[in-house]
Structure 1
Amino acid sequence: MRKLGLSLLNILLVITVANAQQKRTLDKIAAVVGSSIVLQSDVELQYAQYIVSGQQPNPSIKCLILQNQLTQKLLAQQAVIDSVSVKDDEVDNEVDRRMRSFMQRAGGQDQLEQFLGRSVIQYKDEMRPDIKESLVAQRMRAKITEKVNVTPLDVKNYFDKISKDSIPTYNKEVEVGEIVFQPKLSKEEKEVARQKITDLRERVKKGEDFGTLARIYSQDGSSQQGGDLGFFDRQQMAKEFTANAFKLKAGEISPVFETEFGFHFLQVIERRGEQVHARHIIIIPTITEASLERAHKTADSVYKAMLAVKKFDFSSAAAYYSDDKETKYNGGMMLNAENVQTRTTFIPTDKLDPQVALVVDTMKVGTISKPQLFTEPQTNKKSYKILYLKSAVNAHKANLEQDFSKLKEAAMNDKLNRTIAQWFEKRRKETFIKIDPEYQSCDALKGWLPVASAATPASAQTTTTTTENATTDK
């Protein structure tokens, strides 16, 4: 709660200062790149978003914001030439995602609107053009690098060029499997939660405010937004949730239904093609000691059965018994959360869940642990797990034999960065760029400053108008 309080204080401070400055300062052109301009107000808006996202106030970040704006606009201009675009639905989804995050951090919609001095709808309208341009720029960047690849020879050459003093050291890594036994509640144990959600639905049907009840009683992150989930398609939610949401009309309320997460009812706010905007209330059944004991007994029986087999098949056991959907179909093996794209099962021990790391540290390669009770850090859910230590690699200096996949990724990133840098170097030389003197001392913008200034076009001249007397189409 203390961290949240400090965050809200920071937001209030920044927005208060920004609002006060609006009345006495002049908006101006912070930079020109080709046919596009970046206004000082654009930089300030993104800085406000930076603060709302939970970061500490730091005015030097505005240099990086302007650099990102210049990069984005240069890519977006090329995207027009190359016919690269994004769909409106993609933009809407990203706007909604960011807004839900902002509201959650600010403590709800009312608090966010108070801090911003404008409605959420107004703020979304202000964000939308920049978010659309950002998505277009991302797609253009991907197009520039789509043919970049590395061969084994590229990887070797990359590694050979690293000086001996700069060869990275990799921490100890392990491959860890898990079989998860989640406590399962009986119908009778779930009844308290079912009755509570049923009562809440009746209160909504009798006229009580849905959003208020969601804020008070709902048990997930959307409660701070009055249960508002924004727009979603058929693939984003649990199948039971989707089935109810897509058969209702705007304003209608669903019956109570159950998903793997708990008991819900929802109300559709708007239907837009194959997307639905809805809000919900969820009550999560409380795990009982009896259900935990049942999970423990099941885990213990599986553990003993595996010990009885000289060469147990951990992959098959995980697929059959585990309740964790993310690992059971991967042979029970955990994936490196920081490198999911490569689907590597090698995880640095300092990146493991501390509870898992504590158990693994006592194990030998090829062995399984006794069932242990674990608590998920984010959800507080309890479950029993059997862990399997498949392999371990001690800390060492990087080498091609042990670390080819890591070095291949590093070589690929290096080639991608050089490809992008070369593209920008060429485009910057061909494009008119003007940066306001306020930002010309920014280290992040050194490469954007023209070597010699050509005659400044009329459209690039810095103009100022009072905020009260001018409106800018952004």
Structure 2
Amino acid sequence: MRKNIIGIAFLLLFVSINAQDTLKVQTNNFKRIKVDGVAVVVGKNVVLDSDIDKFKKELQQRVEGKIDITDCEMLEELMIQKLIAHHAVVDSIVVTDAEVNGEVQRTIAYFTQQLGAIEKVVEMYGFNDEEDLRKELYNIQKEQLLIRQERASITEKVDVTPEEVRTYFRNLEKENSLPEFSAEIELAQIVKIVKPSEAETNRVIAKLNEIKKEIEEGYSFRLKAIINSDDPAVSGNGDGSGGKYTITRESGFIKEFKEVAFSLDEGEISEPFESGFGFHIIQVEKIKGQERDVRHILIQPKISEAELQASKDELTNIRKQILDGEITFEEAVLKYSEDKETKNNQGLILNPNTNDTHFVLTRMDPTLYARVSNLKAGEITDVFYDEIRGGEKMHKIILLKSKEDAHIANFTKDYEKIQQLTLQKKQEETIDQWAKEKIVDTYIKINKDYKKCNFKKNWKKE
């Protein structure tokens, strides 16, 4: 059980796409590469002395100090990840620049939102400028994507039967090692989007049409974007600078943006179109196979205080109807909610990390946690204001649909979680066997200070 927890926790730590973990765990390691000692080389990949200490501390924080792991054990876990990354290249795993840049952009967007400005992110993590930050994150995210895809390839045929799940649970029972599951909740929401007036919408469309005409007459799209666009990246030095992005159909851009971009010919400028962020025009500068270099200008319609208050009052009235028993929450979702993702699912909010409806109470977004942590099952928050960063403005109410207290694993109640733990254990065993075979024909050099380690695998090739 201990090995399974270490493997799972370390995998989450090392290949997590969560922006917060990525930057906290790894950026400073890359910055220190010139002064750190080299602990081991696996293929062409290096593990630094500082990596061992840093990842050890992060792992212990993740498992809340429940596991004591030695430097040698941590080094071996790191070596496995470097081995996977090395063979991802050997096996010609393809990671496109667009995929990597998409992950980099999500990381930067997350931290910019947390700290308020990209300059603060650059300063806090000790980079020279935004370009320096992006280069370091590019290396980190590329390796993470390679590891993720290689692991998926190695374990793609791994599955578990109900009997294997039952056996796994019984073995944990015999060892008195049943896991404790944290308190979990389910949330449902009603959303009212604050819409601009028709006059304001028409003003924005007219402005974009005017800009389009001027560009077609010879004005610089880049300069027009810097002057007019509400995209916060427009004035930076990286992706989005001057309104320019390189995209593919798989890029993490909104659907409306990609649909328009891939409908245009080279040099063509779109008509104004709407997305959740506002109104855009796009020009395709260059078509490069499956990629397109595009520039865009985003203008967001302004919302008046009167429109904001009207939206809040409407949702306050809906909440009162629910509390007075005039309508159920689920009926109100269908009748009033304007959130496309939850409207037809009784308002239930999906956890983006697990893709199900359950949230571990202590691992939630801090802002959301603060709103719901004191609620009892069946209670509803007050009306509150929210917005997509730089996008739609809205008012919400949230229902605490259900709450499960922390408890020791129960086979019937927690079958799906136990099944997932069984699958993860089997996947780790598959990775272990794969690693034993690959170590034989992979170049590995271990610093003399670590040759005293008693590794589980034959890294020393003795």
Q: The TM-score by the shorter chain falls in which range?
A: 0.5 to 0.7
Report the Cα distance in structure 2 between the residues aligned to 1:14 and 1:351, rounded to whole angstroms: 27
1:431-450 mapped onto 2 (5 Å cutoff) = 431=441, 433-435=443-445, 437=447, 440=450, 447=457, 449-450=459-460
Between the two proteins, the alignment pairs up a number of residues equal to 395
The 1:195–1:167 alpha-carbon spacing in structure 2 relative to 1, beyond 3 Å, is same
Q: 1:444 to 1:379 in 2, by over 3 A?
A: farther
Structure 2 residue matching 1:266: 3-state secondary structure: strand
Q: Output the amino acid matched with 1:171.
A: S
CA contact (8 A) 2:85 2:150 kept: no
CA distance in structure 2 between the partners assigned to 1:203 and 1:69 by the alignment:
52
How far apart in 1 are the matches of 2:449 and 2:202?
A: 62
Q: Which residue of 2 aligns with 1:333?
A: 348
In structure 1, the residue matched to 2:157 is 147
Q: 1:145 deviation in Å?
A: 1.9
Look up the match of 2:98.
93
Q: How does 1:206-355 map to 2 (within 5 A)?
A: 209-215=220-226, 217-223=228-234, 224=236, 225=238, 226=241, 227-233=243-249, 237-238=253-254, 240-307=256-323, 312=327, 314-340=329-355, 343=356, 345-354=357-366
Matched, 1:68 2:73: no
SS across alignment from 1:292: helix
**Residues 361-401 of structure 1 deviation map (CA, whole Å, 9 limit, x = unaligned):** 5544345x365113348558642223223222122222223
Partner of 1:416: 427
* Letter of the structure 1 residue corresponding to residue 404 of structure 2: V
Deviation at 1:179, TM superposition (A): 0.9
Q: Deviations over 1:305-363 (max 9, x none)?
A: 445657x55445324422222222322101223312xx2x2222223455554554554
Match of 1:374 in 2: 385
Q: CA deviation at 1:102?
A: 8.4
Alpha-carbon distance change, 215 to 64 in structure 1, aligned in 2, over 3 angstroms: farther
1:76 deviates by 5.1
Are 2:83 and 2:435, in contact at CA under 8 Å, matched by a contact in 1? no
What are the residue-to-residue correspondences of 1:99-138 with 2, within 5 Å? 100=105, 111=129, 115=132, 131=142, 138=148
Query: What is the SS of the residue equivalent to 1:323?
Result: coil
**Which residue identity is paired with 2:102?**
R
Deviates more, 1:400-409 or 1:249-258: 249-258
Mark the CA change 1:98 to 1:247 in structure 2 (over 3 Å): closer, same or farther: same
Give 1:34-49 correspondences, 5 Å limit. Answer: 37-38=43-44
2: distance between equivalents of 1:439 and 1:221? Answer: 48
Whether contact under 8 Å (1:440, 1:446) holds in the other structure is: no
- In 1, distance between residues paired with 2:28 and 2:163? 54
Contact 1:169 1:398 in 2 (8 A): yes
Q: 1:252-301 deviations in whole A, cap 9, x for unaligned?
A: 33343322311212221222345432121212223322222222233244
Checking the alignment, whether the CA contact within 8 Å between 2:256 and 2:275 is kept in structure 1 is yes
SS in 1 for 2:265: coil
**Contact 2:372–2:381 (CA<8 Å) still a contact in 1?**
no
Comparing 195-204 with 60-69, greater Cα deviation is found at: 60-69
- Structure 1 counterpart of 2:396, one-letter code: K
Seq. identity, %:
28
Relative to structure 1, is the Cα distance of residues 189 and 232 closer, same or farther in structure 2, using a 3 angstrom cutoff? same
The corresponding residue for 1:183 is 194
Give the deviation of 1:413 after TM superposition.
0.8
1:393 corresponding residue in structure 2:
404
Question: What amino acid sits opposite 1:71 in the alignment?
Answer: I
- Asked whether the equivalents of residues 179 and 387 of structure 1 are also in contact (C-alpha less than 8 Å), the reply is yes
The structure having more radius of gyration, on CA atoms, is: 1
Which position in structure 2 is the counterpart of 1:161? 171
> Structure 1 residues 436 and 268, CA, compared in 2 at 3 Å: closer, same or farther?
same
Which amino acid is 1:324 matched to? Answer: D
- Aligned pair in 2 of structure 1 residues 439, 195: CA closer, same or farther (>3 Å)? farther
> Which structure 2 segments of 5+ residues have no match?
1-22, 55-71, 112-117, 123-127
What is the CA–CA distance in structure 2 between the aligned matches of 1:64 and 1:273, rounded to whole Å? 39
Q: What's the C-alpha RMSD, in Å, of the aligned pairs? A: 4.7
Corresponding residue SS for 2:279 = strand
